[in-house]
Amino acid sequence: MSIVLGANQYGKAEVRLVRVVRAGGRHDLRDLNVSVTLAGDLAATHLTGDNTVVLPTDSQKNTVYAFARAHGVDGIEEFGLRLARHFVASQPAIDTATVHIEEYGWQRLGPHSFQRAGGEVRTATVTCTDGRTEVEAGLTGLVLLNSTDSEFHGYVKDPYTTLPETNDRILATAVDARWHYRGDNLDWEDSYGAARAGLVDAFVGTYSLSLQQTLYAMGHRVLTDRPEITEVRLSLPNKHHLLVDLTPFGLDNPNEVFVATDRPYGLIEGTVRRADDGTVDPADGGRH
């Protein structure tokens, strides 16, 4: 019963890159956090410390900066594709390169002045393996709230259930979404903008009987609007806003005064996808 090395990978995480494009007096800005992960035939360094095929993570970092200068950063999907292909093509021992990029938004204040846009982060994950590339896009930290048009009732009452049913509550979440593209040569900006708009519109427009229903509506909208997207994965914390009981103080509370709580929180996670996608996921066999 021998002991062996299983799946493994390595890389440089969180390379912070700010790329300025200076078109005369008017500048543009891309602000990225790039993480590179490489996998392949890396047994020797694990078993004996033989680093013959190990490209240092420091070199990976340097590559990110050099490519930003040499090729520019037109978009995070394009930049990720260029980097991932480079590592697989140039390193014989590496069969899979994954480049994950977070982009922080900035709003323009002037020709060369900007304001950081806040908590929302755009993401892309590019995987290059065996000559194939996969592109996934997404976002995190998009906090949305509907102050009405949300109900929750008709659920299981077990011996531990004390939650009152409600036909009017606040529904709030911090959207964490990832979607998968068919192909690697798309108009990424256009697709991203439309997918994001679809998520927001569906959240706003869905009269919700459960956060699961809202989740499904969000994924369904993106797939309906964008044929190039094959699957949407959503992770939605239910950011509870609890109605405060003001009766001890002789006051009513007609859904006006709430406590925003930190922990615990509900966490709703789900995938919405095309049925004929081909990439059958055995894990979700009976659930759709």
- Sites for a second copy among residues 121-140 (CB under 8 A): none
132: nearest Cα among 95, 100, 101, 186: 95
Q: Tell me, what DSSP letter sits at residue 208?
A: B
Distance in angstroms (rounded) separating the CA atoms of residues 95 and 271: 28
**Considering the complex, what minimum distance in angstroms separates the CB of residue 46 from a second copy?**
4
Which part of the chain contacts a second copy (CB under 8 A), choosing from 76-84, 105-113, 130-138, 185-193?
Answer: 105-113
Distance in angstroms (rounded) separating the CA atoms of residues 169 and 59: 52
- Residue 98 amino acid letter: T
Q: Does 53 bind a second copy (CB under 8 A)?
A: yes
Residue list 221-240, contact with a second copy (CB under 8 A): 223-224, 231, 233, 237-238
Distance in angstroms (rounded) separating the CA atoms of residues 226 and 24: 36
Distance in angstroms (rounded) separating the CA atoms of residues 221 and 200: 10
Which part of the chain contacts a second copy (CB under 8 A), choosing from 50-58, 77-85, 131-139, 186-194?
Answer: 50-58
Which residue in 45, 57, 129, 140 is the catalytic one? Answer: 57
Q: Does 52 bind a second copy (CB under 8 A)?
A: yes
Size of the site for a second copy (CB under 8 A): 147
Residue list 146-175, contact with a second copy (CB under 8 A): 146-149, 151-156, 158-163, 170
Annotated catalytic residue 12: yes
Are the CB atoms for 38 and 45 separated by under 8 Å? no
**Considering the complex, what minimum distance in angstroms separates the CB of residue 174 from a second copy?**
8
Q: Does 183 bind a second copy (CB under 8 A)?
A: no
Tokens matching residue 201? 């519109």
Which part of the chain contacts a second copy (CB under 8 A), choosing from 75-83, 131-139, 182-190, 243-251?
Answer: 243-251
**Residue 101 CA, distance from chain mean position:** 10
Are the CB atoms for 178 and 119 separated by under 8 Å? no
Annotated catalytic residue 98: no
236: nearest Cα among 201, 207, 210, 275: 210
Among 23, 24, 48, 278, binds a second copy (CB under 8 A): 48
Q: Does 59 bind a second copy (CB under 8 A)?
A: yes
Q: Does 194 bind a second copy (CB under 8 A)?
A: no
Tokens matching residue 206? 């869905």
Residues labelled catalytic: 12, 57, 240
